[in-house]
Amino acid sequence: MMELVLASTSPYRRDLLNRLQVPFTTFAPELDETPLPGETAIETATRLAEAKARVAGTHFQNALIIGSDQVATLDGEQIGKPHTHENATLQLRRMRGRQVVFNTALCLFNSKTGCVQNRLVPFTVSFRNLSDAQIEHYLLKEQPYNCAGSAKSEGLGIALIARMEGEDPNSLIGLPLIALIDMLNNEEFTII
């Protein structure tokens, strides 16, 4: 069986991949994740997911490499990771009572054959109409400053959400497992 490599240091993606109960290695791809001029959220996410996998492929010559990237959008505008409390506050205020689409791109790269599979798994989240005090309380408790959209649905952030729509709730956290299993099956790497 080929080695499985997760081209990410995200603890959220690592935890999701652990659910499949298969051994894997993690690799930290060093990339500039700035969107290119005129690039849509879908194009950014897809380009970065594949780039991460290909960078890892230069270090693992006989592996199935998983690259994933997520870009959230509000009214077509990309929403990145806030990194600071102030930015997270502004993001959540803009998102309250509105829908945000989390575009999660997945790439599986076979570094031995050069085969590339790409898939985009969008997930739509409707946010509750929260008060400034509720937003502040949430941010102080969970501090989701490294999460696109300033919220962790797998934690207290679920209280911010009124509704979710999509084919795989794991895509919201950053790694669409249903699509990944399909891709692994295409490479004859079976989970069960």
In the chain, count of helices (H) and strands (E)? Answer: 6, 7
Q: Quick one: which of 86, 85, 44, 51 has its CA closest to 66?
A: 51
The type of residue at 163 is R
The type of residue at 139 is L
Helix axes of 132-142 and 85-95: crossing angle, nearest 10 degrees: 140
28 three-class SS: coil
CA dist 107 and 179 (Å) reads 10
182 in active site: no
The two three-digit tokens of residue 104, written as one number: 């999660």
The two three-digit tokens of residue 129, written as one number: 């109409």
Considering the candidates 15, 32, 69, 75, report the single residue annotated as catalytic: 69
Task: Report, as residue numbers or ranges, the catalytic residues.
Answer: 69
